[in-house]
Amino acid sequence: MSIADIQIDLKSPLSSAELRIDGLLEPFFGKSQNPAGRILLEWEESSEILQGEGELVYDPGVIWRMFKNGETWCAEISYADRTAACRKEEVRCLLFANNAWDRVTLTERRFGHGWHSLLALGAGELMVRSAMVLSDGIVLHAAGIDDNGHGIVFSGHSGAGKSTQLDFWIHEPGVIPMTDDRVAIRTLGKGGAVCYGTPWGGMPHIASNHSVPLKALILLEQDVENRMTLLSPEKAAAMLACRAFLPYWDRSLMQRAFSNLDRLVKNTPVYLLRCRAEPSVVDFVRSVL
Burial class (CB in 10 A: 0-12, 13-18, 19+), 25: buried
pLDDT digits (tens, 9 = 90+) for 92-149: 899 999 999 999 999 999 877 788 999 998 999 999 999 999 999 999 999 999 999 9
Collapsing DSSP to helix, strand or coil, 220 comes out as strand
Give the separation between CA 268 and CA 45, rounded to whole angstroms: 44
pLDDT digits (tens, 9 = 90+) for 232-255: 999 999 999 999 999 999 999 999
Give the separation between CA 9 and CA 91, rounded to whole angstroms: 25
Q: pLDDT (tens digit, 0 to 9) for every residue of the chain, 289 residues total?
A: 999 999 999 999 999 999 999 989 999 999 988 899 999 999 999 998 899 999 999 999 888 999 999 999 999 998 754 444 444 447 789 999 999 999 999 999 987 778 899 999 899 999 999 999 999 999 999 999 999 999 999 998 777 788 889 999 998 999 999 999 999 999 998 889 999 999 998 776 788 999 999 999 999 988 888 999 999 999 999 999 999 999 999 999 999 999 999 999 999 999 999 988 889 999 999 999 9
pLDDT of residue 89: 45
Burial class (CB in 10 A: 0-12, 13-18, 19+), 41: buried
**Beta pairing partners, 141:** 182
pLDDT of residue 169: 94
- pTM (global) more than 0.75: yes
| DSSP calls for 11-50 | E-SS-HHHHT-HHHHGGG-S--SS-SEEEEEEEEE--SPP
What are the chain's domains?
A: 2-133 (no CATH), 137-288 (3.40.50)
pLDDT of residue 222: 84
Give the separation between CA 225 and CA 32, rounded to whole angstroms: 43
Half-sphere exposure of 96 (CA within 13 A, CB side): 16
Collapsing DSSP to helix, strand or coil, 100 comes out as coil
Residue among 219, 238, 241, 244 nearest 230 (CA): 219
